[in-house]
Chains A and B, each alone.
Chain A
Amino acid sequence: MDTATAGLALKPKDYKSDIKPVWCPGCGDFAVLNAITKALAFKELPREEVAMITGIGCSSRIAAYTSVYGFHGVHGRALAVAAGLKAARPELTVLVAGGDGDGLSIGGNHFIHACRRNMDLTYVIMDNEVYGMTKGQASPTTASDWTRSKLTPHGTGIRPFQPAAMALTAGASFVARGFSGDPNGLAKILVEAIEHPGFAFVQVLSPCLTFRPEQKEWKTAVHPFATEATDDPVAAAARLHADGAMATGILYRNPHYPVYRPVNDASARVADFEEAFAL
């Protein structure tokens, strides 16, 4: 495949499909789509060499809005689909995207194991601290005292997950946080995430103005991490703690963890195995 020339002419919009998103006006996910297509154009990746794997939720619809190969699967299992695809087709660039409910609640087990497996995947969680598609229920990142959902009228009463801290603990080798209100900064993070040779986790603060209108204020609250990325998970955890949930940038990059790669050759024929059965 002539990847260099095939990709050269592509612009960000060439990575978009002609399907109109289902997202509400003002949804942060529009900007995430823009940032992803910018990153793909910057990387000059041929569309057929990229796959976007998603689960279920507003943000998971993103696969259909790209012009790369895509898979819009069931709720919470995007990382598993992506792991199978990447294991079978290591040469592809595999992106995984979805929401906080998809990735951290129903898909929580896959998230920690994907971090630990350290396959060369880029995983984007568009975190709006709410289930949008089912009309506004609390997610695993919703504050415990948020009472606007009829399902949990007194609030959840349980502390929210810290996705970046979870990723660190579970062994992800690249952890970053971006903001949909800064698509250029996000695109830069995504370029580095794609280039990172292991599991790259990018939490994107992506407001839901329909069910969480107060998230409009995020644009005044975000600020960069106070220091550059580290390869020390303890320092990264301390930085997360010190800088808070609105700090953005690349937090952690660890080139030392082994990257999952299939170990195989084609030294045998199936018939070779049959000899062992013969009496």
Chain B
Amino acid sequence: MNATQPCDFSIAITGSGGAGAITAGELLLSLAGKNGCFGIMRRSFGPQIRGGEAASLVRLAHRPIECMNDRFDLLLALDWRNAERFADEIPLRSDSVIIADPAMGAVPDVIRDLGTDLIEVPMKSMAGEIDGGRPNMIALGVLAHWLGYCPDQASELIEQNFGGKGETVVNAARATFERGFNEPLVVEARRARVGPGPCDAEMAGARWALSGNEGCGLGALRGGIRFAAAYPITPASDLLEWLAPRLERVGGELLQAEDELASINMVIGASFGGVPSMTATSGPGLALMTEAMGLAVAAEVPAVIVNVMRGGPSTGIPTKSEQVDLNIALHGLHGDAPHLVLGALDHADCVLVTEWSVRLAEALQTVAIVLTDQNLAQSRALIPQPDYVLPDIPARRVPAGGADYARYALTDDGVSPMAIPGQSGAAYVADGLEHTETGKPSAAAADHAAQLDKRRRKIEDFEYGDLWADIRGSGTLAILTWGSTSTAVREAADRLREAGVAVRVIALRLLLPARPERLAAALRGVERVLVVEQSHGAQFWRYLRSYYDIDADLHSLARPGPLVITPGEIVEAVEHWS
């Protein structure tokens, strides 16, 4: 029996283009799912479109985890080509295990200098023993053995994954996997070390494997989205690719636009036609959309924009994560343009927040910007099945009919009935020009004030319920955060609690409209507040300072990407409070 400790194990698989590091990582995550694990997998690529180096970064645990750890326990290098590119992203310690093929050259100095534990496995020559065998399947076998997984489940997975390529390929992959799984060298090495213990599928309960982008797509469909228009952009494209075929099957469609100026205006057109509509983009695309977002606010047309943040400004670091589009989402619209901004906290939250945003946009006839980031969007997590209950939110309000229809009528709650083309007797002109209650263009001061008040009232006075923030724990220390950084903050809070520090985590979902009374209540009794975000300019910190009065010793942990913030950094910030 191999020695184990409770499973919380981080593995990196690296290799040059075509070596199959990503396939091995994806299969490993699926295998872990079958074995009752929770986990997360991020993919990291060099800048090449094809043939560049790639890394699968996988963390597996017996309990729900949703962020990367501060360290990697095992690095499996299929080869060492450009491996130094991943040095920052794969922090190793002296007790980390390296599994490498001696035929692929010497361990790079940056890794050797750490004094890590090196296990040499001739993966290439082992794969060569099998007709059609590939080293990445040796690697999968080695890792499955290391994690104590059952080989039969791998066999099933290989069938599912390679079935389309024919029986020969499936059989070769299986044989190669088994060759790696049973390699005496590896069996011996594993026996000599303490490794991760098994997870328990029954204890783990109903789980999903979900990427953030898929979560947003699903939330959009649940919310009723039946039209999307978009222009391809990393890291939002795979959300759109998930959505396109599925929208068709529920009677909707996705239209590929000529640019983001078109996509947001198409969304506005479809929504004017009565169909809940969205687009998805990233920073540069969001910048192009801001003019039309002002139009949607003025003309009161529901529109949902999922913005997957990436390193910026400009082209920045398109394949890496940052929380840096908060400013433009909050303040990027011209004029006084009240709208909604929401941020998803984790993978399951992508479903919740997107569905919620669609329902809010429809009910309040306004723009809802959903912020996620590359870290959430393009990682796949093994998580408890999303389980949430949205408050009751009315559908888009339509006029009852009859004479004297006024599209922009001044109602108590600020929401005016919106006629849909096809409804007779209610034809009106939606207008970006300021207008009277009937929609007639007007530059009169009274009309402007009345319509501005109405558009603010409908958003400010709405009762958003308890989902405005996710609040966990208690104590005089609070960590305030938003977006995917919440996952690392939650884990940091767990570690602090284990060390005897009481800590309250407040992660904001609803960013606009700001809810100062709610936050004040959530912060009651708090003496110290740490604000954590991934932004060099501390955009969230500045947002908090401008919308809320926080009467506490306020500290900021704000740093840029591309490396995601880890729990250890947050714990350290608390421990070194000055």
Residues of A bordering B, CB below 8 Å: 1, 6, 17, 19, 46-49, 51-53, 61, 63-64, 66-74, 76-77, 79-89, 91-92, 109-110, 113, 262-270, 272-274, 277-279
| Inter-chain contact B427/A69, CB cutoff 8 Å | yes
Given the interface contacts A48-B421, A72-B429, A88-B277, does A83 sit within 8 Å of B269 by beta carbon? yes
B295 and A279 within 8 A (CB): no
28 contacts between A and B (CB under 8 A): A47-B427, A48-B421, A61-B441, A69-B428, A72-B441, A74-B292, A77-B262, A80-B266, A80-B269, A84-B227, A84-B266, A84-B267, A85-B269, A85-B272, A86-B269, A87-B270, A88-B270, A110-B262, A262-B253, A263-B248, A263-B253, A264-B252, A264-B253, A268-B246, A268-B249, A277-B208, A279-B34, A279-B382
Taking a contact as CB atoms under 8 Å apart, the answer to whether A84 and B269 are in contact is: yes
Which 5 pairs of residues, A with B, have the shortest CB-CB distance? A84-B269, A84-B266, A70-B429, A80-B265, A88-B270
Residue B274 interfacial (CB < 8 Å): yes
Contacts of A73 in B (CB 8 A): 265, 268, 292, 295, 299, 430, 432
Contact A265–B251 (Cβ < 8 Å): yes
Say if the beta carbon of B218 comes within 8 Å of chain A. yes
- Report Cα–Cα, A279/B207, bound state, in Å: 6
Binary contact readout B255-292 vs A (1 if CB under 8 angstroms, 0 otherwise): 10111011101111111111101000000000000011
Q: Which residues of chain B have C-beta atoms less than 8 A from A88's C-beta?
A: 226-227, 253, 269-271, 273-275, 277
User: Which of B270, B272, B385, B426 meets A48, CB within 8 Å?
Assistant: B426
Residues from chain B with Cβ under 8 Å of A262 in the complex = 248, 253
Q: Are A72 and B421 in contact (CB under 8 A)?
A: no
Given A77-B292, A264-B248, A268-B250, decide whether A82 and B269 contact each other with a Cβ distance below 8 A: yes
- Tell me if B448 counts as interface (CB < 8 A to partner A): no
Q: Is the beta-carbon distance between A72 and B431 smaller than 8 angstroms?
A: yes
**Beyond known contacts A81-B272, A84-B269: 13 more, CB 8 A cutoff:** A48-B423, A69-B427, A71-B430, A80-B257, A84-B266, A84-B271, A84-B272, A88-B274, A91-B422, A109-B259, A262-B253, A264-B248, A277-B210
Q: Are A84 and B422 in contact (CB under 8 A)?
A: no
**Taking chain B's interface residues, is the majority helix, strand, or loop, or is none over half, making it mixed?**
mixed
CB distance from A107 to the nearest CB of B (A): 9
Are A80 and B249 within 8 A (Cβ)?
no
In the complex, chain B residues whose CB is within 8 Å of the CB of A82? 269
A152 to B275 alpha-carbon distance, docked (Å): 44
A264 vs B291: C-alpha distance when bound (angstroms) = 31
A84 touches B274 (CB 8 A): no
Chain B residues with CB below 8 A from A19, complex form: 440-441
Per the CB 8 Å criterion, the residue count for chain B at the interface is: 65
A6 pairs with B246, CB closer than 8 A:
no
Knowing A63-B429, A278-B385, say if A113 contacts B272 (CB, 8 Å): no
Looking across the interface, which residue of chain B has its beta carbon closest to that of A116?
B258
Q: Is the CB of A84 within 8 A of B423?
A: no
Give the complex CA separation of A204 and B208 in angstroms: 58
Q: Is B424 an interface residue (CB 8 A)?
A: yes
